[in-house]
Amino acid sequence: MAVIITDEAGRLLLTKRSAEPGLGLWCLPGGFIELGETPLDTLVRETKEETGLEVRPGEIVDAYAKLNGYYGDVVIIGYTAVVTGGTLTPGDDAEETVYFTLDKLPQMAFRSHKHFIEKHFRIKLEQQDEGKFH
C-alpha cells in the first residue's frame, strides 16, 4: 500500500525511511496489509502510524507487482487520500515527513512509488539511481 497525499499548495507528502529496504531514502507513506484488514483500513492505519495524519481514502492510482524483491513477491496498490485531521509527525519506520514540490522531489526508495507519482500527476520524473527496490 502506498498513499499519495498533497497539501493545499499541491506539494506531495513523502517519508524518509528509517529502516531497510531503502534506509535514508524517501517514499510515499504506506505499508503491508495485516491479517483481517482491508486495503482501505491499511491505508488509514499506515498513514497515521507513519505521518500522524488522519485521512479519508480517495481513489486507486494503480497497482504494481514486484517479483523476487526484498520481501519476496508483493503487489503494491497506490491510492490517493485527503487529510482530515492529526498533526504531521514522523513515526513507525519514518525518520522524517516532508511536503515536497514536484520539481524538487528527493531520491525515491521504490520504483513502484515513483510509478504512482508519475501516473497520478501525469509527469515523468528525472532518471534516478534508485537501486533494486520495488
Active-site residue, from 59, 96, 126, 130: 96
Q: What is the pLDDT of residue 131?
A: 45
Which residue shows C-alpha cell 513502484?
A: 112
Closest Cα partner for 31 from 16, 50, 12? 50
Q: What is the pLDDT of residue 125?
A: 67
Tens digits of residue pLDDT in 41-81: 999 999 999 999 999 999 999 999 977 767 678 899 999 99
Q: Any idea which architecture 2-121 has in CATH?
A: Alpha-Beta Complex (3.90)
Active site residue 96: yes
Domain map of the chain by residue range? 2-121
Distance CA 2, CA 34 (A): 14
Q: What is the pLDDT of residue 126?
A: 58
C-alpha pair distances (Å), 72 with each of 39, 47, 65, 66, 75: 19, 23, 11, 8, 10
Greater confidence (78 vs 94) lies with: 78
